[in-house]
Structures are given as structure tokens and as C-alpha cells.
A = this chain, B = another copy of it.
């Protein structure tokens, strides 16, 4: 297998962290790593679009040539490959609850940050019809989502409940990604988020 990866972006990090929680890494699992530099615009190239027609990174290439993009699709592949330490639930209810929380974080917090960045940063100009006002609104939405997440973490140890799950990975990568739109955790305003952030950042996998 081979992975198209990039150290500095949130989606590739989600998958590395997912695999690290399984107790392994690309190198340990014998997965060849090819670096694709998003900041240099390499994901916009024609060559890369052959590998990832929707432009997403990372991409996992199986030995039969199958190309899997979308972080959650690759994570699901690894969940099947390494079923020990499940990160996506173990029965109907826990699978549904983790999927629900992961999506709330993705479609709420993560996408607000991504839209604020994409519509507000010159780096994305070549592939985005940027709308400055929407970047602004998305930043405000990100603030609201951060507030909602703090409320959730007041009542729950982890994002999806009592157990660490893929929803925590998505949330941690989103929160760290929020630096690009100059959002950081305010301990006084969001003490529960700050508590969770310390806890989850201290995991070995957070460095992956």
C-alpha cells in the first residue's frame, strides 16, 4: 500500500492519528509514503487530480491499484484492517452515536474553519471563487461551534461519550487547524473544551 500524505494539513493528520491509535504507523505497517505539498499547490496539479479527482488529500493506494480518498473512508478501511481498539463503535448504538458526533464536528466546526480559510486566504484563490463576506460569516460560525463543543464537553468526557473515538480525532484536528483563522482556545470562556484539549493532545497519537 501507499499513502499520499502531507505533514501540515488537518485531513492527513486525522488519518495518521487514527492509525497511531491502532498502535501502528505508515512505516511500521509497511505503507510507502509520498509527500504532496498542498502549500506549493501540488494538489491542484493535473497529475494529482488523476489520483484524487475531487482534490482531497490523503489518498490510500491499495496493492491492486484502488485509490481511496476521503479521510473517513481511509479511516474506515483501517478500522476494518485493525479491529482491535475500535474507534468507530462496536454495536449499532455506539456506531451510530460516534457517526453522529463525528458528523456534527465535521459539518459544523471543521467545515466552518475550512470555509473561513478557503474563502479568506490567498492560497486558495486558484481553485476557489472566494467570497470574502462568507469567510467572515464562516469564522463567526466557527466561534459558535467552538461554544457548542464546550457545552458538549461539560457533560461528556469525550466528544461521543465515555470512550475516545474518531470524533475526538476530528475535533482535535479541527481545533488545531483553527489556528489558520486565528482561533485558539480561551480557557476562561471554554473551560470544558480546554480540559478535553489538554487530555487529548497528551495522547501519543496526537504527535503522529
Residues of A participating in the B interface, judged by any CB pair closer than 8 Å: 53-54, 60, 62, 66, 68-70, 72-74, 76-77, 80-81, 91-93, 95-97, 99-100, 103-104, 108, 129, 131, 133-134, 137, 140, 148
Contacts A134-B131, A134-B134 given; does A73 touch B97 at CB 8 Å: yes
Contacts A133-B134, A137-B129 given; does A97 touch B54 at CB 8 Å: no
Count of chain copies: 2
Q: Which of B53, B60, B92, B103 contacts A148 (CB 8 A)?
A: B53
Q: Is the CB of B93 within 8 A of A76?
A: no
A-B contact pairs, 11 of them (CB 8 A): A53-B148, A54-B104, A70-B100, A70-B103, A70-B104, A72-B99, A76-B96, A77-B95, A131-B131, A131-B133, A133-B134
Contacts A129-B140, A134-B134, A137-B129 given; does A77 touch B93 at CB 8 Å: yes
**Extra A-B contacts (10), CB below 8 Å, given A70-B103, A70-B104:** A62-B93, A68-B96, A69-B100, A73-B97, A73-B100, A74-B96, A76-B92, A80-B95, A129-B140, A131-B137
Say what secondary structure dominates the interface of chain A.
Answer: helix
